[in-house]
Amino acid sequence: MSNPNITLILAGIFGLFVRCSSADPRSAAESKPNIVVIYLDDLGYGDMSAYGAKSLKTPHMDRLANEGVRFTNGYASSATCSPSRYALLTGRYPWRNADAKILPGTAPLLIGTDELTLPKMLKEQGYTTAVVGKWHLGLGDGMVDWNQRVSPGPNEIGFDYSYIMAATQDRVPTVYLENGLVEGLDSTDPILVDYGKNFEGEPTGKDNPELLRIRWHHGHNNSIVNGIPRIGYMKGGERAKWVDEDMADRFLEKSKSFIGQHADKPFFLYYALQQPHVPRTPHPRFEGSSGMGPRGDVILEADWCVGELLQTLEKEGLLENTLVIFTSDNGPVLNDGYYDDAVELLGSHKPAGPLRGGKYSLFEAGTRVPFMAYWKGTIAPKVSGALISQIDLLNSLAQLAGSEYRSEDGEELLDVLMGKSDQGRETLVLEATTRTALRHQNWVMIPPYKGPTINQMVNIELGNDGDFQLYDLDSDIGQQRNLASENKAKLQEMVTLFVSIRGDRYLDTEALELK
Residue 231 binding result from Ca ion, ligand NG6, none, given CB thresholds of 5 to 8 Å by partner type: ligand NG6
Give, as ranges, the residues between 89 and 148 that touch ligand NG6 (CB under 6 A): 102, 136
**Which class for 9: exposed (0-12), middle (13-18), buried (19 or more C-beta within 10 A)?**
exposed
Of 34, 35, 39, 42, which lies in the binding site for Ca ion, with binding defined by CB under 5 A?
Answer: 42
Instruction: Cite the beta strand spans of 264-420 per DSSP E.
Output: 267-272, 322-328, 371-374, 382-384, 388-389
Question: Please, what is the minimum distance in Å from the beta carbon of residue 81 to Ca ion?
Answer: 4
Pick the closer one to ligand NG6 by CB: 170 or 340. Answer: 170
Give, as ranges, the residues between 237 and 296 that touch ligand NG6 (CB under 6 A): 277-278
Question: Please, what is the minimum distance in Å from the beta carbon of residue 23 to ligand NG6?
Answer: 44
Question: Please, what is the minimum distance in Å from the beta carbon of residue 41 to Ca ion?
Answer: 4
Of 218, 239, 420, 481, which lies in the binding site for ligand NG6, with binding defined by CB under 6 A?
Answer: 218
Residue 101 binding result from Ca ion, ligand NG6, none, given CB thresholds of 5 to 8 Å by partner type: none
Pick the closer one to Ca ion by CB: 88 or 122. Answer: 88
Nearest to 74 by CA among 394, 298, 329: 329
- Contact between 329 and Ca ion by CB under 5 A: the answer reads yes
| One character per residue 79-98, x = contact with Ca ion (rule: CB under 5 A) | --x-----------------
Stretch that binds ligand NG6, among 114-122, 158-166, 212-220, 247-255 (CB under 6 A): 212-220
Question: Please, what is the minimum distance in Å from the beta carbon of residue 259 to Ca ion?
Answer: 24
Stretch that binds Ca ion, among 37-45, 85-93, 185-193, 433-441 (CB under 5 A): 37-45
Of 91, 337, 351, 410, which lies in the binding site for ligand NG6, with binding defined by CB under 6 A?
Answer: 337
Nearest to 82 by CA among 61, 65, 99: 99
Angstrom distance (rounded) from CA 389 to CA 74 = 6
Phi, psi (deg, nearest 5) at residue 141: -105, 10
**Which class for 85: exposed (0-12), middle (13-18), buried (19 or more C-beta within 10 A)?**
buried
Of 297, 303, 336, 340, which lies in the binding site for ligand NG6, with binding defined by CB under 6 A?
Answer: 336
Residues 6+ away with beta carbon under 8 Å from 443: 470, 471, 472, 473, 490, 494
Of 49, 58, 77, 80, which lies in the binding site for ligand NG6, with binding defined by CB under 6 A?
Answer: 80
Stretch that binds ligand NG6, among 45-53, 218-226, 343-351, 507-515 (CB under 6 A): 218-226
Stretch that binds Ca ion, among 74-82, 100-108, 475-483, 496-504 (CB under 5 A): 74-82
User: Can you state the angle between helices 81-90 and 393-401, rounded to 10 degrees?
Assistant: 30
Pick the closer one to Ca ion by CB: 58 or 82. Answer: 82
Stretch that binds Ca ion, among 154-162, 328-336, 370-378, 382-390 (CB under 5 A): 328-336
Pick the closer one to ligand NG6 by CB: 80 or 321. Answer: 80
Question: Please, what is the minimum distance in Å from the beta carbon of residue 88 to ligand NG6?
Answer: 13
Q: Residue 290 is which amino acid?
A: S
Residues 6+ away with beta carbon under 8 Å from 68: 324, 372, 373, 374, 375, 379, 381, 382, 419
Question: Please, what is the minimum distance in Å from the beta carbon of residue 110 to ligand NG6?
Answer: 13
Phi, psi (deg, nearest 5) at residue 290: -100, -20
Q: Which residue is nearest to ligand NG6 (CB)?
A: 219
Angstrom distance (rounded) from CA 147 to CA 161 = 19
Stretch that binds ligand NG6, among 125-133, 147-155, 213-221, 497-505 (CB under 6 A): 213-221
Question: Please, what is the minimum distance in Å from the beta carbon of residue 260 to ligand NG6?
Answer: 30
Residues 6+ away with beta carbon under 8 Å from 204: 198, 221, 222, 223, 224, 229, 233
Question: Please, what is the minimum distance in Å from the beta carbon of residue 136 to ligand NG6?
Answer: 6
User: 7: part of which helix (H) or strand (E)?
Assistant: helix 4-20
- Contact between 330 and Ca ion by CB under 5 A: the answer reads yes
Number of neighbouring beta carbons within 10 Å of residue 412: 13
Residue 218 binding result from ligand NG6, Ca ion, none, given CB thresholds of 5 to 8 Å by partner type: ligand NG6
User: Can you state the angle between helices 59-66 and 294-315, rounded to 10 degrees?
Assistant: 60
Residues 6+ away with beta carbon under 8 Å from 52: 46, 350, 353, 354
CB–CB of 199/210 below 8 Å?
no
Q: Residue 273 is which amino acid?
A: L
Stretch that binds Ca ion, among 68-76, 119-127, 325-333, 451-459 (CB under 5 A): 325-333
Angstrom distance (rounded) from CA 194 to CA 3 = 73
Pick the closer one to ligand NG6 by CB: 69 or 81. Answer: 81
Q: How many distinct helices (H) and strands (E) make up the chain?
A: 11, 22
Stretch that binds ligand NG6, among 156-164, 216-224, 307-315, 424-432 (CB under 6 A): 216-224
Angstrom distance (rounded) from CA 189 to CA 144 = 16
Of 29, 39, 41, 322, which lies in the binding site for Ca ion, with binding defined by CB under 5 A?
Answer: 41
Question: Please, what is the minimum distance in Å from the beta carbon of residue 423 to Ca ion?
Answer: 29
Angstrom distance (rounded) from CA 212 to CA 407 = 46
Alpha-helical segments (H) within 43-142: 59-66, 81-90, 118-124
* Site residues for ligand NG6 per CB under 6 A: 41-42, 80-81, 102, 136, 168, 170, 218-220, 231, 277-278, 330, 336-337
* Site residues for Ca ion per CB under 5 A: 41-42, 81, 329-330
